[in-house]
Amino acid sequence: MSLKISFQKDAPKTVLCVGVHENSPVVCDPSCGDQTVSDLITKAVANSTFKGKLSQSLSIFTPAGQRLILIGLGPKEDKKTDNREVYWQKIGSAISCVLSCIGCTEASVDIHGEGEEDSFVLPNMALGTLLRSWRFEKYFTKKQPDELFRLKQVTFQTATLEAVEKAFAPLAIVAEGVFLTRELVTEPANVVTPATLALTAMSLQKVGVTVEVLEEADMKKLGMGALLGVGQGSAHDSKVAIMRWEGGQKGEAPIAFVGKGVTFDTGGLSLKPSTSMEDMKDDMGGAGVVIGLMQTLALRKAKVNAVGVIAIVENMPSSTAQRPSDVVTSLSGQTIEVLNTDAEGRLILADALWYTQDRFKPKFMIDLATLTGAMIVALGKERAGLFATDDGLADKLLKAGEQVNELLWRFPLDDAYDKEINSTIADMKNIGSGRGAGSITAAKFLQRFVNNVPWAHLDIASVTLMDKDIPMAAKGATAFGVRLLNRFVADNYEGK
């Protein structure tokens, strides 16, 4: 059962979270009690390692037996330099952590900003608590030891109920989108097969998204040889799912999102080593983000026309698999020498990008893909790579990333890198010639399938699956990109 967030004027206070600033005399919020409680907190701070640092926490009991959870708010000063949304989200995340750590099932929170409205502070805090509390538990057949104590309900105390609830509604919708994406990424590849991923896209029809699925026969007719080549070794048929949300002006060109949906990437005949091959269930992460984003736009009735196109294949070695050295003809007509069957993401995106620009004439295209391991070498797991042909588009994406704390770093697309992918027998080959710049040559490959439409590519290989907890997600799937792109759309393309 997932966490229920609510807001109330008078929340029950058996377990109460209160905020404590760093390096400032503790003054307890009047609603949490009297001078004795305030003194208690002062003593607790003096006698423990809890000093009110941002995201620190301490659980204490009042003489009356009430559990008080002190949440560090950091220093009082310095408000202007912070991203205040992220600041409050991190505090919400700290609340989730301490509550689940001490085994509380229910708590109320009485934390407010100084000079900041509850309708700004509380929705962000609640979002942080919600995102950080998400767990994937469906495959446990036995009760987990701590299951009885799983966090079920957090109530935030406020005097301005209506305004807070109104501001939280769109954030709760984004959280739903994030959870859908996390679920898809976390599910193993025997569950999220090409067919189930396409069905999930189809399920967005119930929220008003128009969805079509291209089957292999359709793709053959169209000439998607690059995409079909990748999927030909799998027992599962390849698909392309096309999702359309029409919330903008009738007839206005859409904005387009394209996702890599490799439900499992063994590498194909250029087989990956077994170490960490299991992580390749996340290779549909880009497609997962596009699905989560489209659901979010539809549920919050975004005033924009948007299309999401996801290329869905499984990359397997078998007697029908494509061989290193095969030459395929892409939808664009350009031929590709497949020198490494593990560089498959760019092959399926080549056809998906071409199809998208050709059919929809979008304002711009943004693709998301767990495209290269080299991204992790370059950026670690802190940021995702951004490549763009358009500075305005790049800046908007960088800014949206900073606003939601899903950070991007822009890489070059210099022409000099382009010759790396020239082939001796076809228009291009699917890997670079030389050493290094693996993420850039992959992006240059994609660029050969983009015409005059502004285009950005997000290589999310570094951030889709985390091996440790981060503020907005427990270890595992992050859904990096859903909040970023939702914000990017909301701030720039909804005619406000």
Residue 282 touches Zn ion, criterion: CB under 5 A: no
Q: Which of 92, 128, 345, 481 binds Zn ion (CB under 5 A)?
A: 345
State CA 12 to chain mean position distance: 34
As a whole number of angstroms, the distance between CA 34 and CA 36 comes to: 5
* Minimum distance, C-beta of residue 181 to Zn ion, in the bound complex (Å): 17
φ, ψ for residue 206 (rounded to 5)? Answer: -70, -15
Q: Which of 110, 183, 237, 265 binds Mn ion (CB under 5 A)?
A: 265
As a whole number of angstroms, the distance between CA 200 and CA 129 comes to: 27
Residue 476 touches Zn ion, criterion: CB under 5 A: no
* Minimum distance, C-beta of residue 265 to Zn ion, in the bound complex (Å): 4
As a whole number of angstroms, the distance between CA 378 and CA 372 comes to: 10
* Minimum distance, C-beta of residue 384 to ligand BES, in the bound complex (Å): 11
List binders of Zn ion among 347-406 (CB under 5 A).
none
Interface characters, 111-150, with Mn ion (x: CB under 5 A): ----------------------------------------
Q: What 3-state DSSP class applies to 321?
A: coil
- Residue 223 vs 373, nearer CB to Mn ion: 373
Are 375 and 283 spatial neighbours (Cβ–Cβ below 8 Å)? no
- Strands laid side by side in the 67-75 sheet: 4-8, 153-157, 106-110, 15-22, 67-75, 57-61
- Positions that interact with ligand BES (CB under 6 A): 265, 279, 283, 340, 342-345, 370-374, 431, 438, 461
Contacts with Mn ion by CB under 5 A: the residue count is 3
| DSSP 8-state assignment for residue 86 | H
- Residue 262 vs 442, nearer CB to Zn ion: 262
Are 122 and 164 spatial neighbours (Cβ–Cβ below 8 Å)? yes
In the residue annotation, 323 being an active-site residue is answered as no
Catalytic one among 51, 67, 272, 399?
272
Quickly count: other Cβ atoms within 10 Å of residue 199's Cβ.
15
As a whole number of angstroms, the distance between CA 294 and CA 257 comes to: 9
Q: Which amino acid is at 194?
A: P
List binders of Zn ion among 244-273 (CB under 5 A).
262, 265
Q: What 3-state DSSP class applies to 410?
A: strand
- Residue 37 vs 287, nearer CB to Mn ion: 287
Locate all alpha helices (DSSP H) within 160-307, ordered by sequence.
161-186, 194-202, 216-222, 225-231, 285-299
Catalytic one among 239, 281, 300, 346?
346
- Residue 57 vs 341, nearer CB to Mn ion: 341
Q: Which does 438 bind (CB under 5 to 8 A by kind): Zn ion, Mn ion, ligand BES, none?
A: ligand BES
Q: What 3-state DSSP class applies to 305?
A: strand
In the residue annotation, 346 being an active-site residue is answered as yes
How many residues comprise the chain?
496
Residue nearest to ligand BES (CB): 373
List binders of Mn ion among 343-362 (CB under 5 A).
344
Binding site for Zn ion (CB under 5 A): 262, 265, 283, 345
Binding site for Mn ion (CB under 5 A): 265, 342, 344
> Could you give the residue numbers annotated as active site?
272, 346
